[in-house]
Structure 1
Amino acid sequence: MFRPPTVEGDGCAPSPIRLRVLSLGAGVQSTTLALMAAHGIVGPMPDLALFADTGWEPASVYEHLRWLMSPNVLPFPVHIVSAGNIRQNLLDASRGERWASIPAFTRVIQRGGRVEIGMIRRQCTGDYKIAPIRRKVRELLGLTRKRSPPFAVAEQWIGISTDEAVRIKPSFEPWQVNRWPLIERRMSRQDCLAWLRRHDYPIPPKSSCIGCPFHSNAAWRRIRDHDPDAWDDAVAIDRAIRSGLRGIRGEVYLHRSAVPLDEADLSIEADHGQLDLWPNECEGMCGV
């Protein structure tokens, strides 16, 4: 299907890598990486980019993705893959159906009135990002329902920048190797923004699910103040998942304070001392 590339600097020896895939989240980092590849700054050129659609991205992300997929922007195709709609999955979960858990927060009242706040184990990245991308890559390699080779035949580019280097994780699949070209070039998120501005490209929106519990107060404020439809949607889903989730004790909330989203303190003052939860998304597949 794909012609095996040659090893850089060798000139004749074939490389086992048969497919190079850019994981495109349509955020700042992965957009910069895709456009740098288009400029020939990062190579070899990817064979394609894959956007894993959770079905619950902000409208601005889908608009930016359409621009990336428009003619004369990228010299390689962008494929959209999906494992379903995570928003609908949460609504189904509120009725007691099976669900891929998100890292939402639980509020349990213990004996004596003590309130305990916890976080639910996260499965959404694996189910809605990693799995559909892996499935598509295997399909393109002709490995569907076949035994995997014991060596890497696919290379996946992931747009993690230096300020999020803690999220780097090697591939656990022997047939695939991960690569982080922005790390190789020692580029931070601010460096990516500067590169986009120098080349007069549009600045991408933040790429993450509308109701992602990893949102900081600043992120929630941006949604509330600049995307009222998304805010209303997040508030509605937050209310819907309060109870009924299989295997979960107590009430469930999208905001880390474990209070209803539309009642949470999102003030700048409340930002002080707030932990950044994004390093917990250690697969590095969200928010880029």
Structure 2
Amino acid sequence: MPTLRYDRHHARQRLRLLILDGTPGTTALLLLAAHRALPRPDHVLAADTGLYTAAAYHHLSRLERIAADAGIGFRRADATIVAEHTLGNDHPCPLPLFTRDPDGTPGRLPNQCARRQAAVLAAQVRSLTEASPDSPGTVVECFRAVSIEHARRASAGTHGLRVRYPLLDIGWTDADCRAYLHRHDLADTRRLACLACPQHSGARWRELRAYQPEAWEEALAIDAALRHRHPHAAPRPTPPGTTYYLHPARVPLAHADLDTEDTPEVEGCSLWTCRGTEASGQHGVGEL
């Protein structure tokens, strides 16, 4: 059962949540709360897409133990529909894959991955708020990890959801978060990005190839399996013969030049700031 606090000013109960992703900021918030340096959330929510590596699941389990030791609830939201629709051929692929039409024209699929994750997380939030049916209304406070150099991303929240920004309150930067996590041997938050994410940088692919050979081989297999999807399996119509790729060079991942690529690194999977959302006209995720 969630710990619901009474908000005297609004005569409502309050539920504090932290949405965990692979960014250093959210992991830092969890650790700070566990150390009682910040107000503790009632629950930590994490979406499991089914596309994590073994190292990612190990990392997620470690964070779950940290939360449990601090008396913080931890829920894994089942978002494995992302894996099912990525690896299957009967539904639109949620990943923002790179495409090439038969005439050579490059393109990109819209990003539906973050929206799918947000939908299952929103369902978890609803289940928690419905745990107190006699309440006149539960105010949900969501902690978001926005550091001071990204303060422009802050918003007040809507529809009963209040967004709090503890990193802004304490004046922390991304570098502060990384340094704090490094001291506690939690620096590699990138593990919570999906194995088959088209947002990976060359450095991330090189890391998988060098240090996680099983994960690398799995990524190669997924990339090959995605190459010739049925036209109806794209989120919007694509010409017959269109090919699909995980790498922006639109070549098989096994043949991509990863050693000279300087694509900016993506630090985990963030529902609100994932690059590629612009491909589908999404500039944020409205469900949370």
Pairing partner for 1:248 from 212, 222, 238: 238
CA displacement, residues 34-78 of structure 1 (integer Å, 9 cap, x when unaligned): 0101222222x2111011100111222211221222276432111
Pairing partner for 1:55 from 42, 50, 64: 50
Q: Which amino acid aligns with 1:99?
A: P
Whether the 8 Å CA contact 1:168–1:284 is kept in 2: the answer is: no
Equivalent-residue separation in structure 1 for 2:105 and 2:169 (angstroms)? 42
Q: 1:36 to 1:54 in 2, by over 3 A?
A: same
Identity across aligned pairs (percent)?
Answer: 30
Equivalent-residue separation in structure 1 for 2:153 and 2:256 (angstroms)? 28
Pairing partner for 2:128 from 140, 143, 162: 140
Q: 1:242 to 1:164 in 2, by over 3 A?
A: farther
1:257 aligns with 2:257: no
Equivalent-residue separation in structure 1 for 2:162 and 2:5 (angstroms)? 15
Task: For residue 30 of structure 1, report the CA deviation from its aligned partner.
Answer: 1.7
RMSD of the alignment, in Å? 3.0
Task: For residue 165 of structure 1, report the CA deviation from its aligned partner.
Answer: 5.4
* Aligned ranges 1:79-158 → 2 under 5 Å: 79-93=75-89, 97-110=90-103, 115-127=104-116, 129-142=117-130, 153-158=139-144
Task: For residue 175 of structure 1, report the CA deviation from its aligned partner.
Answer: 2.2
Partner residue of 1:181? 166
SS at match of 1:40: coil
**Tell me, which stretches of 5 or more residues in structure 2 are unaligned?**
267-273, 278-282
**Tell me, which stretches of 5 or more residues in structure 1 are unaligned?**
7-11
Whether the 8 Å CA contact 1:170–1:177 is kept in 2: the answer is: yes
TM superposition score normalised by structure 2? 0.79
Pairing partner for 1:231 from 210, 216, 219: 216
**Corresponding pairs, count:** 262
TM superposition score normalised by structure 1? 0.79
Whether the 8 Å CA contact 1:57–1:209 is kept in 2: the answer is: yes
Partner residue of 2:5? 4
Task: For residue 5 of structure 1, report the CA deviation from its aligned partner.
Answer: 3.5
CA displacement, residues 118-177 of structure 1 (integer Å, 9 cap, x when unaligned): 1110111111x2111110111111189x9xx9x971111223434555765664x51212
Task: For residue 179 of structure 1, report the CA deviation from its aligned partner.
Answer: 2.6
